[in-house]
């Protein structure tokens, strides 16, 4: 993985520079390495779903290319709902192509009025014969321009909050679906808005049971959230490497800045925080691979801590670089911009804390209940 990232992906990322396209050559390198297979069961052309392998891959890729990293993540976000909720036909039709990287996927949950508060989504899907008619706007959809298909969530029962949401597979080119490239992020990212206007989606594209979409969405996030933490590890590691190198070379007052405690203690903090985050990420991934069931709390902890850690570490790396660190075109400046969005997407830091706190309190109440009975 390290070799693929360093020898294939890194030169391509440098060649393409700051474009928010997803270059086909990067996808081809990832396909050739069979990287998408780690997200899918063997029965459907994968190597078996492995959270640990996904985290290792994202940690390696994000050091050199946010585009490659996000592409792998989106393949999981769009593909894993089919793994957990798809029927046999859906799995046979889509999973082998996703595992081979011959189809690219995305995940469309967020709306202009519904990010953290998923239940307030306004997109609707109304049954009409053998189709559902979808209407609504999905915002901030990663790789949405490049993706061939995706999973979209809409209300099939407007009065039931989270329990009225269903998941559907959509494909690019469906009549009534328009893809608008209107959002420009501070860092590299193919980010679009999807507009569904009387879009007829075959009923056979519904994933899982009607009104069961929220559970599918959250099960998918259990796997992918910890991997956002892994991606943050790669970003932080790249920043630490740059800071160490720079601190050994740069001299002030006749000495390398690494000889000053004010700098070297920053390096110590960065390395320690990075390792602490790494332990959280791989604990969550290991638990998932061992079949521990839902690992929501551990995954949220890993995502929350690792992405916040990357923000702090990259900031320290910029500081160690002094003036040149805030100069456009420097790797450390790019990392500073790249480290920001992961603290927001797939659930903000505040939402992760809510999830963790709710689960801790629920466990405590259950323990109290057990003692009383």
Ligand X SMILES: Cc1cc2nc3c(=O)[nH]c(=O)nc-3n(C[C@H](O)[C@H](O)[C@H](O)COP(=O)(O)OP(=O)(O)OC[C@H]3O[C@@H](n4cnc5c(N)ncnc54)[C@H](O)[C@@H]3O)c2cc1C
Concatenated DSSP letters of 206-273? EESSTT-HHHHHHHHHHHHHHHHHHHHHHHHHHHHHHHHHHHHH-EETTEEGGGSHHHHHHHHHHHHH
> Is residue 56 at the binding interface for ligand X, with CB under 6 A as the rule?
no
Q: Give the one residue of 350, 363, 366, 368 binding ligand X; rule: CB under 6 A.
A: 350
Span interacting with ligand X, options 16-24, 140-148, 218-226, 264-272, rule CB under 6 A: 140-148
Q: Which is nearer to ligand X, 43 or 116 (CB)?
A: 116
The nearer residue to ligand X, 39 or 141, going by C-beta atoms, is: 141
- Is 241 near ligand X (CB under 6 A)? no
Q: Is 227:76 a contact under the CB 8 Å cutoff?
A: yes
CB of 363 to ligand X, least distance (A): 20
Q: Is 108 in the site for ligand X (CB under 6 A)?
A: yes
| Binding residue (CB under 6 A) for ligand X from 49, 52, 141, 226 | 141
Nearer to ligand X, 171 or 264 (CB): 171
Burial annotation 231-244 (CB, 10 A radius, 16+ → b, else e): bbbbbbbbbbebbb
Measuring CA to CA, which residue among 20, 208, 206 is closest to residue 131? Answer: 206
Residues 86-105 that bind ligand X (CB under 6 A): none
Q: C-alpha 34: how far from its chain's center?
A: 19
The CA-CA-CA angle for residues 178, 179, 182, to 5°, reads 130
Residue 109 within binding range of ligand X, rule CB under 6 A: yes
Q: Which of 121, 199, 351, 355 binds ligand X (CB under 6 A)?
A: 351
Enumerate the β-bridge partners of residue 195: 137, 178
Q: Report, in Å, the least distance between residue 146 CB and ligand X.
A: 12
Could you tell me which residues come within 8 angstroms of residue 93 by beta carbon, excluding any fewer than 6 positions away? none
H/E stretch holding 150: strand 149-155
**Does 348 sit near ligand X (CB under 6 A)?**
yes
Contact stretch for ligand X (CB under 6 A) within 11-19, 164-172, 318-326, 348-356: 348-356
State how far the Cα of 84 lies from the Cα of 103, in Å rounded to an integer: 18
**Interaction of residue 190 with ligand X, rule CB under 6 A:** no
Asked if 346 is an active-site residue, the reply is: yes
Shortest separation between residue 190's beta carbon and ligand X, angstroms: 10
Burial of 161 (0-12, 13-18, 19+ CB in 10 A): middle
Rule CB under 6 A: say whether 110 interacts with ligand X. Answer: yes
Which of 8, 189, 266, 297 touches ligand X by CB under 6 A? 189
The residue among 46 and 144 lying less far from ligand X, judged by its C-beta, is: 144
Q: Is 115 in the site for ligand X (CB under 6 A)?
A: yes
Catalytic residue chosen out of the listed positions 298, 346, 363, 368: 346
> Rounded to whole angstroms, what are the CA distances from 214 to 20, 117, 184?
30, 12, 28
Least gap, CB of 267 to ligand X (angstroms): 29
Compute CA distances 219 → 119, 141, 296, 314, 368, whole Å.
Answer: 16, 19, 8, 30, 27
Nearer to ligand X, 108 or 240 (CB): 108
Question: Residue numbers of the site for ligand X (CB under 6 A)?
Answer: 106-110, 115-117, 140-142, 185, 189, 191, 341, 344-348, 350-351, 354
Q: Which residues are catalytic?
A: 346
């Amino acid at each position: 993985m390290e070799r693929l990232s360093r020898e294939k992906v890194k030169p391509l990322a440098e060649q393409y520079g700051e474009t928010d396209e997803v270059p086909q050559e990067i996808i081809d390198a990832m396909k050739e390495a069979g990287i998408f297979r780690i997200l899918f069961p063997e029965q459907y052309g994968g190597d078996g779903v492995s959270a640990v392998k996904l985290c290792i891959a994202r940690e390696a890729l994000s050091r050199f290319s946010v585009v490659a990293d996000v592409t792998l993540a989106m393949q999981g976000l769009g593909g894993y709902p089919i793994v957990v909720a798809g029927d046999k036909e859906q799995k046979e039709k889509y999973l082998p192509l996703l595992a081979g990287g011959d189809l690219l996927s995305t995940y469309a949950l967020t709306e202009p009025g519904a990010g953290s508060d998923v239940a307030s989504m306004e997109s609707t899907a109304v049954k009409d014969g053998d189709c559902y008619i979808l209407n609504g706007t999905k915002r901030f959809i990663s790789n949405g321009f490049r993706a061939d298909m995706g999973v979209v969530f809409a209300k099939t029962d407007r009065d039931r909050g989270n329990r009225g949401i269903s998941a559907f597979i959509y494909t690019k080119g469906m009549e009534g679906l328009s893809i608008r490239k209107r959002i420009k992020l501070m860092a590299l990212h193919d980010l679009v808005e999807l507009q569904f206007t009387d879009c007829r989606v075959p009923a056979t594209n519904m994933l899982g049971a009607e009104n069961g979409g929220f559970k599918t969405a959250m099960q998918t996030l259990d796997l992918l959230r910890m991997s956002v933490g892994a991606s943050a590890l790669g970003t932080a590691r790249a920043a630490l490497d740059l800071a160490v190198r720079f601190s050994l070379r740069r001299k002030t007052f006749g000495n390398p800045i690494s000889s000053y405690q004010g700098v070297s203690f920053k390096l110590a903090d960065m390395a320690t925080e990075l390792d602490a985050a790494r332990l959280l990420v791989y604990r969550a991934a290991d638990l998932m691979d061992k079949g521990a069931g839902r690992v929501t709390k551990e995954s949220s902890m890993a995502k929350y801590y690792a992405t916040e850690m990357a923000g702090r570490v990259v900031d320290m790396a910029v500081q160690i670089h002094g003036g040149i660190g805030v100069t456009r075109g420097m790797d450390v400046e790019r990392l500073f911009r790249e480290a920001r969005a992961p603290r927001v997407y797939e659930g903000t830091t505040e939402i992760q804390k809510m999830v963790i706190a709710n689960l801790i309190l629920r466990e405590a109440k259950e323990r109290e209940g057990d003692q009383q009975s």
